[in-house]
Amino acid sequence: MILKIATSGNVAQRDLERHMTLAAQPTRIPVSVWAAAAAIRNLSRPYEMNGSDGEIKGKTHQHSVIAGVAAASPFRGDDVVKSSLIDMYCKCGVPEDARKVFDSIGVKNNVVWTALVSGYASGGYSNEALELFRSMPARSLFTWTALISGFVKAGNNASAVGLFVEMRRDGVRIDDAFVLAAVIGGVADLAAIVLGRQLHGFAMRLGFLSSMIVRNALVDMYSKCSDIHSAREVFEGLTSRDIISWTTILVGEAQHGRAEEVLALYDRMVLAGVKPNEVTFVGLIYACSHAGLVQKGRQLFDSMQREYGIKPGLQHYTCYLDLLSRSGYLSEAEELITRMPYEPDEAMWGALLSACKKHNDAQMCMRVADNLLELRPKDPSTYILLSNVYAVNCKWDSVAKVRKLMAEMEIRKEPGYSWIEAGKEFRLFHAGEVPLDVREQITGMGCASRVMSLILALDEHEKVQHLFLHSERLAVAFGILKSPPGSVSVGTVTL
């Protein structure tokens, strides 16, 4: 979970945004116009990993100042400046102001249309993005790419894939690699490996496997689909590698618990003269945490600033704390949380609390739990952890306080679900909910006995009932039913 939060996003997104910025740049405009537009676009970029609430508020104020300057400048009618204002307003979460700027433009060119479509899609305003997109007088590959990439960025991955299929049916010619990188990123987040392999073949047929951003996206896709060997094969096939290439495979290997491979890749990267970035170190420390390599993790954390001038962000401190606490260095972890230059968040206190519970340190459990409760957490699983910790230590007043806070904040634990891709079929299973056709097949073919074979004390009926209560077991049973012998099924579990 920690690594997922710290490295969430699509690896092709930075390359794509760079492409979009360059493609939007007119060939002949006054330097001062482009400087104004660049200033607006720079302010609208996602905040740094180290950004604090104060910095965010300050930048929000800067947005207002820049917008006022742009409105009063002699270039206020320039389409480049206006498209940059649209981009800025959308990224600041005020799409209504972006629409006002859009409506103020008399003759709208493709850049202006695309800026608002992209802003709506990236901000999660799917209906508005599609409505605007459908009303465009002409749609280029650039606009399709902006819409699909925006949907992926907002997490609307299934819609992004559907739009790509629609684009192909409309006969839009793909003459650059960016739309492929974007849709592969969407497939990666869906963990749809069959579709990912089809896109891999499609990229090969179009001749885009020489593109670094496509190969980077494929490495990310195979890693997220649990096929780390294919990810490594694609990575090793790269003739040249940038920091995104190295970091993507390094994080993928870390997510699969392959610490030795992670550290070997890091050594190769350094020898190749590639300077690691913030995300690289998140992956490195995460790998050390799950392998118990405390001393190596300490060295890497210290080397960030000493050797590379990278100021550790909150995510780095969270991973480092996880490393210390998992390995039983609870006092050092608690000291870290008090002396670091950031306010500890829910993820950090939660990681420390889980470790205290694991190592049976009751006194520290109470201190950490009280600090975590003061944050009024938003994650339902945090409340379950808190309630369990207080109950084990017979702190019934605190248990009642946790339950009262959950009721006040209307926090409910969403039921877990699992989905699996077996052959040509996708199925989603919720705990305790079994489709009739699957129920009959499972009971008729004895899958319960195969899946629950380790629970020897139960009879067949009890095994079936236990199987139906767990979405993950249901998905495994479905995979057994539908997969040909020797094939691989891919699934995702959400608890």
Nearest-5° Cα angle at 270, 45 to 182:
40
Q: What pLDDT band is residue 211 in, cutting at 50, 70 and 90?
A: very high
Residue 423 gets the label, from left (phi > 0), alpha (psi -120 to 50) or beta, of left
**Residue ranges, CATH 1.25.40, the chain:** 2-173+181-188, 344-408
**Token pair of 34, please?**
């482009």
Q: What pLDDT band is residue 484 in, cutting at 50, 70 and 90?
A: low
Can you give the pLDDT at residue 9? 54
CA distance 237 to 458: 50
Can you give the pLDDT at residue 334? 93
CATH of domain 2-173+181-188: 1.25.40
**Token pair of 420, please?**
């699996």
Q: What pLDDT band is residue 446 in, cutting at 50, 70 and 90?
A: low
Q: What backbone phi and psi angles, to 5 degrees, belong to 449?
A: -65, -35
> pLDDT digit string (tens) for 289-335?
999 999 999 999 999 999 999 999 999 999 999 999 999 999 999 99
> pLDDT digit string (tens) for 214-231?
999 999 999 999 899 999
Give the fold, CATH level 3, of 344-408.
Answer: 1.25.40
Nearest one of 149, 155, 116, 150 to 133, comparing CA atoms: 116
